A and B are shown apart, each in its own frame.
Chain A
């Protein structure tokens, strides 16, 4: 379960990246986070595990207070949070199986598990199960850079599963993929999350994907919560309004001002 209360983050130049966000995501719930570039989506995801420090507010993940947590507590929290990145972030020079095995590093801390060819049978078997789950078991011995973009993102999902998380944060997981591969990745992500009753926050740009997969939609604009509702209660006009020119200009103005300040959101 994710609980966010009055969360704010202000950059040193004074830009409000997040402004008084209140959000609760129940255990096993999957939400889609929508908004323009620079609307605060990625900042919110990073703030959840304190990869950036909130200026104000409180965050709790599965009952553990993240804000105010010690370094050790924070590491424990991060172990339980699986992340799927837009840029995929596999280690290209090693095998697919090794990459999936890396998901276990946080909980095992055993140098034997650094590489798939030295790791224990338990870890290898579990990694194979995760690969089977994303439909890529036959590719276990391939180098990661030999796979297509969609396959690589599915390997990243298998690595996330290997971590045995309770919460999954997916930051625009299909932004770099073609529509077909994007659908495949979204199918796999939503299925594994549902099977294991994981809590999911997934940022997206594509409205059609949000409509297809999102049960609950949360939208941000200029760091503020603009919309929080179930898809069945929202009209197409509500969603389209999120990406209107006015809305885009509002976020872009913030963004360019922020870029000039030399701060990377």
Chain B
């Protein structure tokens, strides 16, 4: 027999099932909804455009296949340039982000004003989209891969610098205090305790930056900052969809390979505790 028990009589009423939304949150939802409706109204979504879209997509795909494989040798050179831009830009970015992160982290910064300045610099670098940086550098140094490298470098500093600084702030104080107690100076403590302790995390973040840079570098050419994006832009403008499809497939293969290699390298590094340390 199933026993059911009646709840004992309560003297206080339970709280309401629904809470009235906060005035600010309600206003924010209204503003967002208003912007979305206004945006849709400006899209010029005519039934003709919507009806034509599948046909146009089919036209692109049918003209894109088979891809122009005869162009692969020429495109490979541009792809190589893209990968090289990503590697050089990421390497420079990671190297420069390390000192900025040490200045930005609360526990290693020499002064609170320097902490604020370094964090603000990282925020500016991170907040401006990479295509905008690319346009700025195309104006500064002209068309070509140098603008692309500078773009990737700035983007990497903004991204890696923030994560490096956060990792430094989370570090166990123990090894740092132990070295300070020997009378070691601030730079020695950073070099011997802070950086080695955070190193696995730094390397993981750097590999992720490289992966992100290769993906980003592929489109920087759209604004003239070198690499395979230049070829993609030209192919679309000349409506050479078979060449465009070849480039898209090449980008896909390279990005997937980069992701896979980066993932394997990160995993190996995390398992690296079994490795013999340099002595």
Contacts and interface: CB of A to CB of B under 8 A. Distances in A.
Q: Please say whether chains A and B are actual partners in one complex.
A: yes
A105 B180 CA distance: 9
A78 interface: yes
B188 A143 contact: no
B181 A111 contact: no
A103 to B, nearest CB: 6
A106 B184 contact: yes
B273 A83 contact: no
Count class of interface residues, chain A:
35 or more
User: Lowest 4 CB-CB distances: which A-B pairs, in order?
Assistant: A106-B183, A79-B183, A105-B184, A89-B174
B117 to A, nearest CB: 25
Contacts of B179: 91, 102, 105
A116 B279 CA distance: 5
Nearest to A144: B277
- SS class, residues of chain A in contact with chain B: mixed
Interface stretch (A93-101, A184-192, A217-225): A93-101
Given A93-B200, A95-B276, 19 more contacts: A82-B182, A83-B178, A85-B174, A87-B174, A88-B174, A89-B175, A91-B192, A91-B193, A93-B196, A106-B183, A107-B183, A111-B187, A111-B188, A141-B279, A143-B277, A146-B273, A146-B274, A159-B182, A163-B182
9 contacts: A79-B182, A83-B181, A89-B175, A91-B192, A91-B197, A93-B200, A107-B183, A114-B192, A146-B273
B196 A91 contact: yes
Count class of interface residues, chain B:
20 to 34
Contact of A81 (B177, B181, B192, B197): B181
Given A89-B177, A111-B191, A143 B183 contact: no
Contacts of B196: 91, 93-94
A85 B181 CA distance: 11
Contacts of A82: 182
B184 A102 contact: yes
A7 interface: no
A26 interface: no
Interface string B141-183: 0000000000000000000000000000000001101110111
Contacts of B174: 85, 87-89
A261 B141 CA distance: 59
A246 interface: no
Given A87-B174, A95-B279, A145 B273 contact: yes
Contacts of B274: 146
Contact of B183 (A75, A87, A94, A117): A75
Interface string A149-164: 0000000100100010
Nearest to B200: A93
B25 interface: no
Interface string B245-279: 00000000000000000000000000001111111
A132 interface: no
A95 B277 contact: yes
A90 interface: yes
Contact of A98 (B181, B187, B277): B277
B188 A115 contact: no
